[in-house]
Amino acid sequence: MTRILHLSDIHVSAGGPDMDGVDAVAALEGILRDARHVPGLDAVVVSGDIADDGSAEGCRSVLDRVGAFAAERGIPHIYSTGNHDARGPFREVLGSGHRDPDGSDRGRLLHPDSDLCAAVSFLGELRIVTVDSLVPGKPHGFLDEHQLACLTEELATPTRDGTILVLHHPPLHLASLPWVADVVLQNISTLGRVVRSSDVRVILAGHLHFQASGFLAGVPVWVTPGVVTRIDTTAPPHLVRGVLGAGASVVDLVDPASPAFHVISARDPRAGEQIYLYDAASGEDIAEEG
C-alpha cells in the first residue's frame, strides 16, 4: 500500500497571513501537528496555492515546514502550482517541485525549455506527475496543447504501479454549485482523452477549499480541502462562505482498482468561524448572510 498526505491551498504570503488576514502559517503548522501520528506515510503532495502572493518568501516558508515534516519521516514532498502561485518564484525555491526527504531536487522537468512547472518523479515503481494548470491572473485552470502532448508522451510508457496525476484545478463539473464552473479546469474533456486508457490511477487536485470526488474518463478524481480556510458548502448555492478550519486528506493506494480517501481536520477552537461571504454572481462581499 502507498499512503500519501495530500495538502492544498496553504496561501502563505511573504508577510505570513493570506489576503483575508488568516494566519496561514499557523494553519499549516496546525494541520502538520495533528497529522504527525498518521502512520505509514510514503509522501506529501501539495496541489497548489502555496504562496498567496506568489512570492518566493511564501514558497520558502511552506517548503521549510512541509520539508521538515517530510524529513522527519524520510519521505519525499511534491508540489504543483496553483492560481495564486507565480512560476518564477516557484521554480526559484522549489525547483521541479519534487523534493527528496533531504530537500534535494528529485524531479525531471517535462518542459525544461519553458517556465512551466510540470515534472515527474518515482516513488518506487509508482510515477507521480505534476502538471501546471496555472493561468496567470485568472482563477480558472487550463492545460495547453503543448503540455497535453508532453503528458501524453509521458503516459505512453506505463509503469508497474501506475501514475498519480497532480494539478491544482479540479477536472470536475459540480452542477449543484454553479460558481464552480468558472474556476475549475476549463478543458476537462481534453484531459480526459489523455488519461483514458492510461495507467493513471488517481488525479489529485485542490483549489475549491472543500473536499469533492468524481471521475474523469474512469479515473478517480479527489479534491482535498484547503489548509488556510475551507469553503462551507451549506451556504446557498450562489454564495461562497469561507470559514476557519484547516483540512487535509490521506490517500491510500491499496491496489490498482481501489484508491481510498479520508479527510483529517486540525483541532482548532475557532473552526467554522466565518472569514468571508460573497455573492459568486456579482462578486460583492456580504457582511451578514440574509
Average pLDDT over residues 152-178: 96
Give the pLDDT score at 287: 64
pTM over 0.95, yes/no: yes
Is 239:289 a contact under the CB 8 Å cutoff? yes
CATH class of 2-279: alpha beta
Give the pLDDT score at 139: 97
- With 80 as the cut, is the pLDDT of residue 133 above it? yes
Q: Percent of the chain at pLDDT above 90?
A: 92
Give the pLDDT score at 9: 98
Nearest partner of 125 among 176, 159, 175, judged by Cα: 159
Question: Residue-wise over 23-46: b if at least 16 C-beta within 10 A, else e?
Answer: ebbebbebbbebbeeeeebbbbbb
Lowest mean pLDDT among 49-58, 163-172, 277-286: 277-286
Give the pLDDT score at 255: 80
Give the pLDDT score at 163: 97
d(CA 16, CA 26): 9
Average pLDDT over residues 24-46: 97
Is 59:51 a contact under the CB 8 Å cutoff? yes
Is residue 290 very low, low, confident or very high in pLDDT (cuts 50, 70, 90)?
A: very low
Q: What does pLDDT average to over the chain?
A: 95
Give the pLDDT score at 257: 72
- With 90 as the cut, is the pLDDT of residue 281 above it? no
108-109/119-123 β-pairing: antiparallel
126-130/119-123 β-pairing: antiparallel
Kindly report the backbone phi and psi dihedral angles of residue 155, in degrees, each rounded to the nearest multiple of 5, phi listed first: -75, -10
pLDDT in tens, 85-131: 999 999 999 999 999 999 999 999 999 999 999 999 999 999 999 99
Give the pLDDT score at 258: 78
| Amino acid occupying residue 28 | L
Q: Per DSSP, which regions of the chain are E strands?
A: 2-7, 43-47, 77-80, 98-99, 108-109, 119-123, 126-130, 163-166, 200-205, 212-216, 219-223, 230-231, 239-243, 247-253, 259-265, 274-279
- With 90 as the cut, is the pLDDT of residue 256 above it? no
Nearest partner of 106 among 131, 132, 69, 79, judged by Cα: 79
